[in-house]
Amino acid sequence: MSVEKDFYHEHPAVTNMSEDEVRSWRREHRIKVMDPDAPKPVRTFMEAAFPEFITAELEASGFPQPTPIQSQSWPVALSGRDVIGLASTGSGKTLCFALPAIVHINAQELLQPGDGPIALMLAPTRELALQIKGECDRFGASSRVKNTAVYGGVPKGPQQRDLQQGVEIAIATPGRLLDFMDAAQTNLQRCTFLVLDEADRMLDLGFEPQLREIVKQANPGRQTLMFSATWPREVQALADQFVKDPLLVQVNEVTNLRANDSIEQRFEVCDESQKHNRFVHLLTSVNDGQDRIIIFCEKKRGCETLKADLRKRGFSAESLHGDKSQQERDWVLQQFKQGSIPLLIATDVAGRGLDVKDVRVVINYDPPSQVEDYVHRIGRAGRAGAKGLAFSLITPSNGLIARELVAMLHKSNVYVPPELQRVARSAGGNDGGGYRRWHR
């Protein structure tokens, strides 16, 4: 069965862009494209030349224009080429693949009984899978593109029923998908559009063997898109094997990791004995009872202790971590998204894939162990270009992460507080010694 993959029709306004205009646009939006023959970027939803039903939904979304990663990735993906997209969290990566997937699906032969999905979108966590599903629901409804989210922690029955009845899009965490594949309840013979979202996080969670098994069973004529916030050697090695002649689109110098420019970063340096009081004072100063705030703790027990303390002080707070059942996690997220509970205290289970509008502030009560996780955590604020504020409490015991933070801030030309530099120096080496850089 032949696979049609090229659906891109360049808008006349894009055709008329000079090479100088293209270079200027990419420079302004910090876009690098590793191919001199890459398609020109699209600057408006109309220029993207999607089908009318998608364009209408985009224009009704309230966003004024595509994000930089969308502007450059859409023409590449719609042309049928494999894509590697590198961009910080909150940059709009989901629509980079969800919309081209819907266009791709509408051009393929209809599903027959026993067929598996045409598009497979792999994600590291159930939270991210559900976020992707929300976008597929929204943009796939008018063309009747069916989807299902497949993830662990919940009964298999409803997911199995969806797969067996036939869905064009499967959004899945690797382990649960392999369970269904091993039981012959779905297959990837029709999978001609494959997405690996947050590839770095999937490797961090140990999914490499499952990814290899899944990709091996996908249609060999497929189009593959890989998105990542960081670009370590392990992700590069995976890309070398999974994608064919890819076009790499890089936003904001991801190899030199940086936080979202929409987020103001502040650091509270104090002794361990002062930490909790400083945190309560900080929270009181930023909490207006309306905006949602996420507070990150290192351990599950820390989340529960902090929740109990804040409730005693009259704050409305809930916790989210790996010891909670899926039903409990869903309820907490629903309450937080609705604003019924404005404070969410979480481990790194909420560090990636959690997309909640109106999160204005993120507080790192305990800083993470590495700078990549820091970037993802604070990226929960400032979604889709909104302004955000991130506070991190740093004690003398946090010297290693302080060193990585200082190096990242220097490379991003962001002011580095002297007290943060002092903590970084206490870890030994120079201020930038702990920051890891990878090159393709």
C-alpha gyration radius of the chain: 22
Here the CATH number for the domain that contains residue 290 is: 3.40.50.300
CA pair distance 331, 325, nearest whole angstrom: 10
pTM: 0.68
Of residues 223, 216, 217, the one with CA closest to residue 243: 223
Q: Which residues of 286-305 are buried (b: 16+ CB within 10 A; e: fewer)?
A: ebeeeebbbbbbeebebbee
Contact 343, 331 (CB under 8 A): no
CA pair distance 259, 266, nearest whole angstrom: 12
What pLDDT, on the 0 to 100 scale, is given for residue 355?
67
3-state SS assignment for residue 299? coil
Residue 1 lies in a domain: no
Q: Which amino acid is at 440?
A: R
Of residues 140, 437, 112, 412, the one with CA closest to residue 263: 412
CA pair distance 118, 167, nearest whole angstrom: 8
CA pair distance 118, 102, nearest whole angstrom: 10
Q: Where among 251, 273, 299 does a domain terminate?
A: 251
Task: Please check whether residues 237 and 284 belong to one and the same domain.
Answer: no
Instruction: Output phi, psi for 344, to 5 deg.
Output: -115, 125
Residue 439 lies in a domain: no
Task: Please check whether residues 122 and 145 belong to one and the same domain.
Answer: yes
Task: Please check whether residues 268 and 158 belong to one and the same domain.
Answer: no
Range(s) of the domain holding residue 401: 263-426
Q: Where among 222, 251, 280 does a domain terminate?
A: 251
Task: Please check whether residues 194 and 312 belong to one and the same domain.
Answer: no
User: How many folded domains does the chain comprise?
Assistant: 2
What tokens were used for 191?
Answer: 């999978």
Task: Please check whether residues 189 and 233 belong to one and the same domain.
Answer: yes
Residue 210 lies in a domain: yes
Task: Please check whether residues 312 and 400 belong to one and the same domain.
Answer: yes
Residue 257 lies in a domain: no
What are the strands of the beta sheet with 223-228, ordered from one edge?
Answer: 31-33, 247-251, 83-86, 223-228, 193-196, 119-122, 169-172, 147-150
pLDDT mean for each 10 residues of the chain (440 residues): 84 96 92 90 95 90 89 96 86 93 95 96 93 93 92 94 96 96 96 95 88 95 92 87 93 62 90 95 87 91 95 94 84 90 88 71 92 84 78 94 89 88 75 32
Task: Please check whether residues 186 and 330 belong to one and the same domain.
Answer: no
Task: Please check whether residues 234 and 276 belong to one and the same domain.
Answer: no
Task: Please check whether residues 225 and 300 belong to one and the same domain.
Answer: no
CA pair distance 66, 43, nearest whole angstrom: 7
Task: Please check whether residues 275 and 315 belong to one and the same domain.
Answer: yes
